[in-house]
Structure 1
Amino acid sequence: MTAPKMAPANPHITSQLRQLIYYHLDCNLIRNALFLAGRLHAYEPRSSEAAYLLALCYLRLGQLKAAYDSSRNSGSRGTHLGCSYVFAQACLGLERYVEGISAIDRSRPLWSTRNSWGKHTESRRQHLPDASAVLCLQGKLWQAHCDTNKAIECYAEALKLNPFMWDAFLGLCDLGVNVRMANIFKMTPEMMSLLSSSAQEETPLGILDESPPTNALSQSQVNINAQLPANNDPFSISKNRINGDVRTNAGTLALFERLNSKKNAVASKEEIVRPDNPIFDTPTGPVAGADESTVLGKDVAGRGAATIEPPLAPARKSRTLPGMGMDFSIDAPPKMRSNSTVRSKSRSKEESAEQDSITVSRSSTTSTAGLDLKRTVSGKAPQSTSGNARPEVSEATNDPGAPQRRSERLFNHMKTQSKKFSASTGSIGAKEGRELKKAKATGTKGRSTNAFNVGRVVSGNRKHGDPMDIDGKEQRPLSISATNVTNHKPVVNEKVKEYESVQWLLDLFMKLGSGYFALSHYQCQDALRCFNSITTSQRETPWVLAQIGRAHYEQTNYVEAEKIFTRIKSMAPSRLEDMEIYSTILWHLKHPIDLAYLAHEIVDIDRNSPQAWCTVGNSFSLQRDHDQALKCFIRATQLDPKFAYAFTLQGHEHVANEEYDKALSAYRAAIGAESRHYNAWYGLARVFEKQGKYNFAEQHYRTAASINPTNPVLVTCIGNVLEKTKSHRAALVQYSKACELDPKSPLCRFKKARVLMALHEHQKALVELKVLKDIAPDEANVHFLLGKVYKVLRQKGMAIKHFTMALNLDPKASHYIKEAMEQMEDEDDDEDADM
């Protein structure tokens, strides 16, 4: 019996399952997301997207093998970017580096052109990686595969695409690459283009209907916006308000051509390229199915047409326009988002002065009896003093008492203003623009059903305080908005703010990166200077303070390093990173109680962390229990086979137990985990030195010094090996270099003085010993050498003085000191006998 065929998948069910999976992933409910991903994979077993979501959930839960198996089919062949990315991440954790690299290479066409920088906000996200993220992962795979050159190439390419890819920068620094900060943390052309478009593509959710409409744009802005790439992100909000405004301006221009004849229309076309042109401050709604000539009641193209006498105006009421055209026979449109209109009680002084002058001018040309052509409140025309009845309204009418129709008053007023301006400048001016701005319709606001595309009309002969003026109150916010859009302040300010914020972040990354780069090359003073230049709020963070503490530790300034790590523990009590360094600092300072307390704290936080077992091992080592310390360090390496410092500490304990072969194995394992771990190279050289293999010891000391050239201890060790091979001149060069690196180091000066004495340069040795006496006044060996130098220089009194001080400071060395004093007395007796 054959199984029934599976019905085709319902896309709506698939969409709902995907939404639920992403919801639970975003809420960090990974197990819920895994359960839903299992349902989706069962519903679409052949879907690569379903396999990707299932593998992603396994990866988030840390189940690397399950993620590897789930994404293997599509990921290893490179047919789905998400599967390949998860598959490569699983391969990195499972140490199957070649498989991960191959999967990324096969999926290269899917990610090579992707760039998601600046596309992640609170309202949208990109669930697939871009080229920068994939290259960073590929760099990690190459680095783990021990192919340094290819790892460097991948990290560099990732940083070129996204300078905020911090993991790639850390990878370059850990590999010891010399990089130039200015070439990494800088604004890329892609970032600039995204910033220029982000201000107009982004609008927060829920604000689209409430925000004021975007008003007119300059021609340059229109051209720039036309070249911006379309956003295909399914989680983003697309808006066409800018394009709508451009069409609105075109409609306004067409209306203006008809109102002001062809000559003025040409001037208006020229004016559209001016960003400060006030004509396009207030956008009008589109006129659908209606012609402006029929709306105005006459042919505005110059062909005279008799108009029908309008009836007496009834008492005005609030009315709603149909939105199909600009009906100038109605005084004012309804207010946006309001069911009733509010009458304005005041007008600005400037509008009152303009309208008064217009009324006086019209009265002087059309009326000989001083008649006021203002309509009454009831809508009737005012009666003349001669008792004339209301006359007919037509273009041929010359009766001074005839009231003008609203459309004709508007037209005559616009012609008058156009002639006035043409006489002075010959083009459209600001005053005319302000008047026409009042006649334009308000733009649509969002997609609200209560908002109509209507026209705004302001009567040319209204007086200040006219109760019929219901437009004054609405004009104030529109004029403010128009001023802002004329100057392009909203768009420009947003772009400037975004540019400044990105530049501030790049400057911060520059300082942090410079400090970390200097520290990775063990230029500790430069690192401290870079970290101290950061603002206090950024510097007083656990990560930055840890880098500062490490810089002091590398300079053997253990006291200051302890203060820094104490602040870190009080600031972040549960921090585990760099705690192995803190435990080593306490070991050098011989603070067993503090070290034991730190070990208990870290074990309570996470007993399965390598840092915890390194701290416990250091505590046992300080108590001279080397066997227990070895067990702890071995446990740390079992928890993290890439933790190089644990192998190094393990080697130190083997050296303390004189188990040199085991120590060599431990140090070599540390170098295998991290090739630039100079402590392991130092350990190898130390073992060879103890075995008397000075040539191997010198070679490994020099390798360690090439990694950390500012460490005076390594340079001193090189000099010590050379001194043992009787190369005193070469040893003197190394000791002198060590003294330059650390002028306050007593060990460097002591060895330098000793080799100077071996070269019979006693005066120079005396200078070094005097400086050393001030640095370490209670050191018996210093006084003993001073006594020997004074003895050679035949300053018997000073020699006896320092021999006596050395005897008091170190009674155990009395045999050697007394022998030197006796030799000095014998030499004096021999000299007296010769005389």
Structure 2
Amino acid sequence: MAPSSSAVSSQLRQVVHYHLDNFAYDNALFFAERLAAHDPRTSESVYLLALSHFRLGDYQTAYEISKAVGHRGSHVSCAFLFAQTCLALDHHKEGIQALERARASWSGKNGFGKHGATTRSQHPDAATILCLLGKLYRARDEKKKAVISFEEALKANPFMWDAFTALCDMGVDVRTQNVFKLNESFLDCCSHDSNKNGVLAEQKDNAIAHQTEAASKRSYLRQQAAADMADPFDSQKAVSSSDSLFGNSSAPFGAGENDFLSKIAAARSRMATSTLDMGSDLTETPTTSNSDSNIRVPNAPSEQLPAPTRRAKTLPIDTGLQDPPLKIGHRLGTKRTLRAYDKVQEDAPSDGAPGGLRVPSATGIAAIERKRTVSGHPVQPRQHSEEPGAPQRRSARINMSRNPNIKSHPATTTTSVAPARELKKARPPIPRLARPISANTTVGRAVSGNRKPLEDSGMDVDHAEAPRVKEPVVQQPAPKQSTPDNLKVEEALKYVLELLRKFAAGYHAQSQFQGAEALTAYASLPRGQQDTPWVLSQMGKAHYEQAAYAEAEKYYRRLRILAPTRFEDMEVYSTILWFLKRETELSFLAHELVDACWRSPQAWCALGNAWSLARDHEQALRCFKRATQLDPKFAYAFTLQGHEHVSNEEYEKALTAYRRAISADRRHYNAYYGIGRVYEKLGNYDMAYTHFDAASNINPTNAVLICCIGNVLEKQRKIVPALQYFSKATELAPHAAQTRYKKARALLALNQLDAARKELEILKDLAPDEATVHFLLGKLYKTQNDKSSAVRHFTIALNLDPKASQQIKEAIESLEDDDDGYDDSMMG
């Protein structure tokens, strides 16, 4: 019989998912094609085939396969995959349309907490799709819609880190305290799903442990009770005998002392002749504890109590080896019987042996009420012998269950001999004994509603302490367990979100180019987190933005030790080495990266920087172009191309490269700076000012950009606004000698001599070997008619820079002139 088509499709889907989960994407693709050929009309077949191509990096094929189903939005997973391919292939509008058409299927869905080692969420949830939607809007340069999508994704799930970084990279001022916090809906989702997938698994393990412990405790109690309450003469019985339930009659009881065994044998022979269909298995004495269905009559005392007014039902007597519990609902006897037994207990002597057994009232009553002779009469207890030296005798505890492996026989619970006196009607004992015993009952459980188990058969059982021996509940009530577990989940989430908030504070500050704040946030992380590659890279980048290249190099050197195969941000490390003029280290880094992965654009940027430092601009340009071929959206590689074109005085090509960098990243301020430099060299100061100002708006804390704006204004003879920019740049970078020098020159041009002298004295300490500083000091003293000081600084400048001897000599010769102005011929 051929299998159904649906069964074959189900099996093929299972095979495809198996290979996808085990990263065998080639196998997944093969079986996905088989599934699509067998069942081409279902959306799931199309989705799995497209997903297999997507996992293999074949985005174009995945796009073509998923287009028909995904663009309609009828299958949310297929629409999501189609949008992913659209993002990779720059078909942004189609991806947005597909996700918007499927909005009814994913809106409001939250899959957080449903992922683990053995669980998967079937479809993407709202947070994931909103984040992808934001990326598509951002790629289309629809900033407002992108920001809304990213914000909604973070509201649905604060762990959407890429949504947060995208907002920061777009320049949005994000309040990290409000983003990374628990809201009610997210907390409810985490509490429910985590309890189901994570915490409840732990509860299950704990429940199993408790159950095992309880079983061990019950087994121990049974063994203790059996050791104390078993018939002390049980070991003397024969293995097989048809004359007595106890087997051999050579027990330590003498015939003259007690002929009870002979009476039992006689009564048993009468029962055998009158009982219908009595099996021979009932006449044999069991040799193991599996004989729970056989009756063992305890040693009767010598004196009898009056017969009870109510007929008691016959129960199997304990063998002494096992002690299963009695089923709930059995009734021991009347209050009159209880009072009669209490009286006997008061008169009976206690066991003289240490730790001797004193039978609890409930168990003793059961023994009196339930024990019967084979003729149907209740067995009457007899007082212990009064003879001195007579051994103390114990009653074996009643066996309150029967072994399910032994077949029950009606003769074991019924009597065929009519009793001598008419008793009250009693319920048939067969259904009660044949009734299955629950596996959850406890040892020594009494009846009549009193569940007072026997804790220690060798000691008196205090009724107040009896409940603690009850079987422990394996599964705790839901309200008692859910509250602590939910608290654990909430505490864990708060800890992770607090940690994430520190990361976010650092990244947000860095996206706003606030390097000091970013370093402070990263420094507040635990030490283990600070030594991770991502944090080391971010801290190195923060120092790089502050022009602290030596400090930045330390972090990247540490990063290379921890993660030698990491390529991300290596272009920044190579630029730091370029600024530090570390030619050997830069060459080694470049060749190491290219050898490790020659398809990495970061590796080709490092190699290009190495050629640039060696002043081979043509080779550097080839490397940077190769980097842009590998990643057309790598903005920094285009910027480096522009720098090399400027060095070759190819300004048009430089402008093209810078503009391509801006199209790849709207906030890439380095490209705006490069365009400003090109226009400044071309003499177009207005355009230069516009681009420098645009770069400064993106990175308002960069002193170099602000100083560039001051330079353009200074060249336009706008000295007052230029001085404002120079002063601001000095505040941002107080140890930058070039910025302070330009400020001092502007002050000197405005004839603010005292302020200029203060700046130059500070600058002399910052750069004591800089000839231009002493030359400007000489001109300052010349303006103040301090000729001796002017000559001294001119002479120092001449010694530091002999190449400028002609200009310095002319300045010395013109000390008598008063119209030299502020211009500095050494600056150019």
Superposition TM-score tier, normalisation by shorter sequence: 0.7 to 0.9
> Does the aligned pair in 2 maintain the 1:313–1:380 contact within 8 Å?
no
Q: How far, CA to CA, are the matches of 1:660 and 1:85 in structure 2?
A: 44
Whichever residue aligns with residue 80 of structure 1, its letter is: H
Q: Secondary structure at the match of 2:181?
A: coil
Q: Secondary structure at the match of 1:182?
A: helix
Whichever residue aligns with residue 17 of structure 2, its letter is: Y
Q: What is the aligned partner in structure 1 of residue 439 from structure 2?
A: 452
Q: What is the aligned partner in structure 2 of residue 201 from structure 1?
A: 196
For the pair 1:52 / 2:50, whether they are aligned, the reply is: no
Structure 1 residues 465 and 452 mapped into 2: Cα distance closer, same or farther (>3 Å)?
closer
Structure 1 residues 577 and 380 mapped into 2: Cα distance closer, same or farther (>3 Å)?
same
Alpha-carbon offset, residue 128 of structure 1? 1.6
Q: What is the aligned partner in structure 2 of residue 757 from structure 1?
A: 748
Alpha-carbon offset, residue 632 of structure 1? 1.2
Q: What is the aligned partner in structure 1 of residue 139 from structure 2?
A: 144
Q: How far, CA to CA, are the matches of 1:9 and 1:521 in structure 2?
A: 62
Q: What is the aligned partner in structure 1 of residue 388 from structure 2?
A: none
Structure 1 residues 793 and 489 mapped into 2: Cα distance closer, same or farther (>3 Å)?
farther
Which runs of structure 2 are paired with 1:254-265 in the superposition (5 Å)? none
For the pair 1:556 / 2:556, whether they are aligned, the reply is: no
Which has the larger Rg? 2
Deviations 1:556-593 (A, max 9, x none): 10101111111111110011000000111111111111
Structure 1 residues 695 and 656 mapped into 2: Cα distance closer, same or farther (>3 Å)?
same
Deviations 1:405-429 (A, max 9, x none): 999xxxxxxxxxxxxxxxxxxxxxx
Q: Secondary structure at the match of 1:194?
A: helix
Q: What is the aligned partner in structure 2 of residue 505 from structure 1?
A: 496
Alpha-carbon offset, residue 501 of structure 1? 1.5
Q: What is the aligned partner in structure 2 of residue 805 from structure 1?
A: 796
Alpha-carbon offset, residue 190 of structure 1? 2.2
> Does the aligned pair in 2 maintain the 1:185–1:507 contact within 8 Å?
yes
Q: How far, CA to CA, are the matches of 1:18 and 1:451 in structure 2?
A: 44
Structure 1 residues 88 and 313 mapped into 2: Cα distance closer, same or farther (>3 Å)?
closer
> Does the aligned pair in 1 maintain the 2:453–2:469 contact within 8 Å?
no
Whichever residue aligns with residue 813 of structure 2, its letter is: E
Q: How far, CA to CA, are the matches of 1:462 and 1:147 in structure 2?
A: 75
Structure 1 residues 26 and 657 mapped into 2: Cα distance closer, same or farther (>3 Å)?
same
Whichever residue aligns with residue 694 of structure 1, its letter is: Y
2:111 to 103, 110, 116: 116
Q: What is the aligned partner in structure 1 of residue 567 from structure 2?
A: 576
For the pair 1:98 / 2:93, whether they are aligned, the reply is: yes
Structure 1 residues 734 and 378 mapped into 2: Cα distance closer, same or farther (>3 Å)?
closer
Q: What is the aligned partner in structure 1 of residue 182 from structure 2?
A: 187
> Does the aligned pair in 1 maintain the 2:744–2:760 contact within 8 Å?
yes
Q: How far, CA to CA, are the matches of 1:584 and 1:700 in structure 2?
A: 22
1:545 to 536, 545, 551: 536
Structure 1 residues 167 and 123 mapped into 2: Cα distance closer, same or farther (>3 Å)?
same
Q: What is the aligned partner in structure 2 of residue 740 from structure 1?
A: 731
Q: How far, CA to CA, are the matches of 1:535 and 1:755 in structure 2?
A: 47
2:70 to 60, 69, 75: 75
Structure 1 residues 9 and 728 mapped into 2: Cα distance closer, same or farther (>3 Å)?
farther
Whichever residue aligns with residue 619 of structure 2, its letter is: Q
Which runs of structure 2 are paired with 1:26-425 in the superposition (5 Å)? 26-198=21-193, 200-202=195-197, 203-204=200-201, 207=205, 210=208, 212=210, 307-311=310-314, 314-316=317-319, 326-328=328-330, 370=347, 379=367
Q: How far, CA to CA, are the matches of 2:638 and 2:550 in structure 1?
A: 26
Deviations 1:140-181 (A, max 9, x none): 111111111111111111110010011111110111001111
2:14 to 16, 19, 40: 19
Q: How far, CA to CA, are the matches of 1:148 and 1:192 in structure 2?
A: 30
Alpha-carbon offset, residue 480 of structure 1? 6.5
Q: How far, CA to CA, are the matches of 2:45 and 2:579 in structure 1?
A: 55
Whichever residue aligns with residue 314 of structure 1, its letter is: I
Alpha-carbon offset, residue 795 of structure 1? 2.1
> Does the aligned pair in 2 maintain the 1:519–1:527 contact within 8 Å?
yes
Q: Secondary structure at the match of 2:611?
A: helix
1:667 to 658, 662, 676: 658
Structure 1 residues 100 and 377 mapped into 2: Cα distance closer, same or farther (>3 Å)?
same
Alpha-carbon offset, residue 498 of structure 1? 1.8
Alpha-carbon offset, residue 308 of structure 1? 2.8
Deviations 1:259-295 (A, max 9, x none): xxxxxxxxxxxxxxxxxxxxxxxxxxxxxxxxxxxxx
1:643 to 631, 634, 645: 634
Q: What is the aligned partner in structure 2 of residue 816 from structure 1?
A: 807
Which runs of structure 2 are paired with 1:485-634 in the superposition (5 Å)? 485=476, 490-634=481-625
Whichever residue aligns with residue 131 of structure 2, its letter is: C
Alpha-carbon offset, residue 764 of structure 1? 0.8
Structure 1 residues 475 and 771 mapped into 2: Cα distance closer, same or farther (>3 Å)?
same
Q: How far, CA to CA, are the matches of 2:650 and 2:480 in structure 1?
A: 75
Q: How far, CA to CA, are the matches of 1:681 and 1:84 in structure 2?
A: 38
Alpha-carbon offset, residue 462 of structure 1? 8.4
Whichever residue aligns with residue 15 of structure 1, its letter is: S
Q: What is the aligned partner in structure 2 of residue 794 from structure 1?
A: 785
Whichever residue aligns with residue 328 of structure 2, its letter is: M
> Does the aligned pair in 2 maintain the 1:312–1:380 contact within 8 Å?
no
1:767 to 758, 762, 776: 758
Structure 1 residues 463 and 650 mapped into 2: Cα distance closer, same or farther (>3 Å)?
closer
Whichever residue aligns with residue 610 of structure 1, its letter is: P
Structure 1 residues 81 and 813 mapped into 2: Cα distance closer, same or farther (>3 Å)?
same
Q: Secondary structure at the match of 2:117?
A: coil
Q: How far, CA to CA, are the matches of 2:131 and 2:456 in structure 1?
A: 70
Alpha-carbon offset, residue 746 of structure 1? 0.4
Question: Which 5+ residue runs of structure 2 have no aligned equivalent?
Answer: 213-307, 350-358, 372-376, 382-394, 400-435, 820-828
Q: How far, CA to CA, are the matches of 1:155 and 1:44 in structure 2?
A: 37
Q: How far, CA to CA, are the matches of 1:707 and 1:617 in structure 2?
A: 26
Whichever residue aligns with residue 79 of structure 1, its letter is: S
> Does the aligned pair in 2 maintain the 1:312–1:379 contact within 8 Å?
no
Question: Which 5+ residue runs of structure 1 have no aligned equivalent?
Answer: 1-6, 215-304, 332-357, 384-388, 394-402, 408-448, 829-835
1:652 to 643, 647, 650: 643
Structure 1 residues 462 and 28 mapped into 2: Cα distance closer, same or farther (>3 Å)?
closer
Structure 1 residues 470 and 573 mapped into 2: Cα distance closer, same or farther (>3 Å)?
farther
Structure 1 residues 469 and 314 mapped into 2: Cα distance closer, same or farther (>3 Å)?
farther
Q: Secondary structure at the match of 1:736?
A: helix
Structure 1 residues 703 and 474 mapped into 2: Cα distance closer, same or farther (>3 Å)?
farther
> Does the aligned pair in 1 maintain the 2:513–2:545 contact within 8 Å?
yes
Alpha-carbon offset, residue 611 of structure 1? 0.8
Q: How far, CA to CA, are the matches of 1:765 and 1:187 in structure 2?
A: 56
Compute the TM-score of the two structures, normalised by the length of structure 1: 0.71
Give the number of aligned pairs. Answer: 647
Deviations 1:701-742 (A, max 9, x none): 000000000000000000011001111100010000000001
Q: How far, CA to CA, are the matches of 2:722 and 2:37 in structure 1?
A: 73
